Amino acid sequence: MLFGKEEEYIELEHEGEEVKKLGRIPIQVEQMNDYADSDRIQKKLRDGSILLVKIKSLREKDLNELKRAIARIRRTCEAMNGDIAAAGDDWLIITPPVARISRMGE
């Protein structure tokens, strides 16, 4: 009792508890060697993975094919409210809706 009144407690859920309920989000490293690899990457994105995708070999082999593959993945990202960003010239970071990429200046 505090000042003659019964104390009332409200249990607040800790942010970490929410993560435990949802489970862990996998982070996968992938390699994009040709346009067909975009199928595999899209599937993993839809399954909820965060992806680090090395694009260097496809960029060196066929820049137009790389642009087509990225455009395809970007459309999937936008449709599901995910996020995509380049990390230098050789990597893409792709996230499902549960994560956002923090860009410089944000």
Residue 89: predicted pLDDT: 92
pLDDT digits over 21-35, tens only?
557 788 999 999 999
Q: How far apart are CA 45 and CA 50, in angstroms?
A: 7
Domain spans in the chain, listed from the N-terminal domain onward: 25-95
Q: How far apart are CA 25 and CA 8, in angstroms?
A: 36
pLDDT digits over 36-56, tens only?
999 999 999 999 999 999 999
The CATH architecture annotation of domain 25-95 reads: 2-Layer Sandwich (3.30)
Task: Evaluate whether 102 touches 52 at the Cβ level (below 8 Å).
Answer: no
Q: How far apart are CA 32 and CA 56, in angstroms?
A: 8
Q: What is the pTM of this model?
A: 0.74
